[in-house]
Amino acid sequence: MIKKGRLAVTAVLSMSLVLSACTLSTKDKAAEPSAAPSGAPVDTTPVEIEVLAQSSNEADVNIIRDQLAKNGFNVKLNLQPDYGSFKSQQDAGNFDVALSSWTTVTGNPDYAVRSLFKTGGDYSIMTDPEIDTLIDTASTQTAAQYIETYKQLEQKLVFDKAYIAPLYNSIKSQAFNQEILNKDSVRLSKSRSLPWEGLDFKDTSKRDKEPIILQSTTPTLTSLDPIKGNDGSINIINTNQYVRLLNLTDDDKLTAEGSLSYNFAIAEGNTEYYFILRDDINFAAIKDKLAVDTGERVGGDDVIFSLLRAKDKNSVPNHRTYTLHEHIAKAELVTDPAALDAVKISGSSDSVKSGLEKGLPAKITSLVSDKKESGNKDGKYQVIKLTTTTAFPQVLNYLAHQSAGIVSKKQVEAINTYDVAKFDPNKDIPYGDQNTVTEGAKYNNTLYTSGPYILSSKTDYEANFYKNPAYMKGTANEPKVNNIKVRFIKDMDSTLSALRSGEIHLFYSVPETKYDVVKGESKLSLQTVPSNAVSYLLFNTKNREVAKSADLRKAVLHSINQDEFLAYYKNNKIKAVSTLSPLVKTGLELKADSAKVKEFLAAYKAGK
């Protein structure tokens, strides 16, 4: 999810994991089934297949079950009530295919495949050297170059080896009460999570008196440490709790707007990246359930600490995002302005210094190592230099991901005093543990957040956030509304009812089947945009027959008719080939083919 995201959630596992399936034929020659003995009697015995999914995806599961049943499968359903239990079943290997989804919340294709399909990826259950090589090759190429490489990757991943069975690409949507919220303040970005700092009431007198009420389906938060979760339970939350070096625009362009950087520059060779930091953000903390200014500035030492721990697989137990940042070799401060003058911007005759100075409050007079000495209005700045292991421009997209959120070096080191190798979840309490913000005996909120909002407390009913009182004060990015609540409502029908009744003000990710209901209410406004979210069936690669037999996987693959999914969702879904589909047009196509299913099933049975 999502994060995904980083399954699930989002992320964006939006990142929340879901599941899906599909069949296909390609413009390239499809892999043929293994030869079955000629003249052998036809075995029509149904093949058992177990589908794992969350109960919230029952509509998709029903379509998948019917399509598989029509093609010679005896389908067993393993429906779980929430993501946690779904993931436990998946980790235990209790499935043949798992209904999964992935949202590329960074807007770049490497994120669409690296964590999911590369050996050792954060969410990967695969080991395939050919897939690994293609992922790494494409990551070093320009957009013009990597189309062919990603086409080869899709061909092997889906058609030749059938590791996944793609289902559809989703529309991103949200609905809100336009009688309550200022319509111009509600953004819908293709990849980026909803920015809370811009949200505002139509009646601005409510800003300090009433909360804006949002919604989420998952009350159990994976982690409030941005590197320890990447799913739908926390992607939006952590995106709004921790500032990053960069952001994405609504149409997936990189921008410094609303980030910790005034500007950024890529040096010649595409292995060195520079960021000039602003000095008007302090960390927020919670005291007596309210947000307070800690007085500690967000600075270069925090950036370096955050990025190096993000890339280090062993910096925390259950690190979920390290593969996003494994290309970082070094992160350091630049303290000599002349060093910036000596380096040219990639593809330009301008120096990095001149690029970083554009639009600054004052030209650079000095670069300081101590964040307390930074004073932008006097020309005193901090500059971060990030060096990658290889030429890798897509690293910038990863710096816009919630896992690259800047945490307080001082606070995290004070909380995470345990030995990572001997971490005991029964007694060690890490930074960001959701129990520390859950009301009750274990409540002890130790969060220090660098973003526009901070979580005060949560229950199974709602989470309560307050604006960071020291976040870009006096700028367009200062949070407009003091208090935001997130209500936890698992059922989509109940969520829509809550929006219509005024119990919540915004419904994120409205189901396509509910668009007409929203459009029928004059007080509601619906926003939609093609998304980077793809649903697919993920095959078990360890302990089931589908792990051993490509023929069996391909029989499942060719059983799924994407047109039936599009019809169910009233054409508010888009056909997909893989998680790359929203980002790279490879020209490969998917079609259902019952004849191929029979051939692959026969080959599978003959080979048993």
What are the helix and strand counts (H, E) for the chain? Answer: 17, 21
Helix (H), strand (E) at residue 276: strand 272-277
pTM for the complete prediction? 0.81
Task: Read off the pLDDT band of 464 (50, 70, 90).
Answer: very high
Among 424, 432, 431, 481, which Cα is nearest to 458's? Answer: 432
Helix (H), strand (E) at residue 47: strand 47-54
**CA atoms within 13 Å, Cβ hemisphere of 64:** 31
Each residue's pLDDT tens digit, 44-56: 889 999 999 999 8
Task: Read off the pLDDT band of 357 (50, 70, 90).
Answer: very high
CA 51 to chain centre: 24
Question: In this structure, what DSSP letter does residue 583 have?
Answer: T
Question: In this structure, what DSSP letter does residue 601 have?
Answer: H
For residue 500, give both structure tokens. 């219509």
Each residue's pLDDT tens digit, 160-207: 999 999 999 999 999 999 999 999 999 999 888 999 999 999 999 999
Q: Contact 230/1 with Cβ under 8 angstroms?
A: yes
CA distance 473 to 197: 12
For the chain, the C-alpha Rg in angstroms (whole number) is 25
Beta bridge partners of 80: 54
> Exposure of 38 by Cβ count < 10 A (0-12 exposed, 13-18 middle, 19+ buried)?
exposed
- The confidence score (pLDDT) of residue 323 equals 87
Each residue's pLDDT tens digit, 279-335: 999 999 999 999 999 999 999 999 999 999 999 999 999 898 998 899 999 999 999
Pairing type for strands 212-216 and 483-488 reads parallel
Pairing type for strands 328-334 and 483-488 reads unpaired
- The confidence score (pLDDT) of residue 40 equals 56
Each residue's pLDDT tens digit, 223-273: 999 999 888 889 999 999 999 999 999 999 999 999 999 999 999 999 999
Amino acid identity of residue 254, one-letter, is L
DSSP line for 315-375: SSTT---GGGGTTEEEEEEE--HHHHHTSBBTTSSSBHHHHHHTT-SS---EE-SSGGG-B
Other Cβ atoms within 10 Å of 435 Cβ, number = 12
Q: Contact 607/549 with Cβ under 8 angstroms?
A: yes
Task: Read off the pLDDT band of 82 (50, 70, 90).
Answer: confident
- Is 4 in a helix, a strand, or coil? coil
- Is 597 in a helix, a strand, or coil? helix
> Exposure of 588 by Cβ count < 10 A (0-12 exposed, 13-18 middle, 19+ buried)?
buried
Question: In this structure, what DSSP letter does residue 438 have?
Answer: B
Q: Is the pLDDT of residue 42 over 80?
A: no
Q: Give the E-state strand segments of 146-255 in sequence order.
A: 164-177, 212-216, 247-248, 254-255
Average pLDDT for the chain: 91
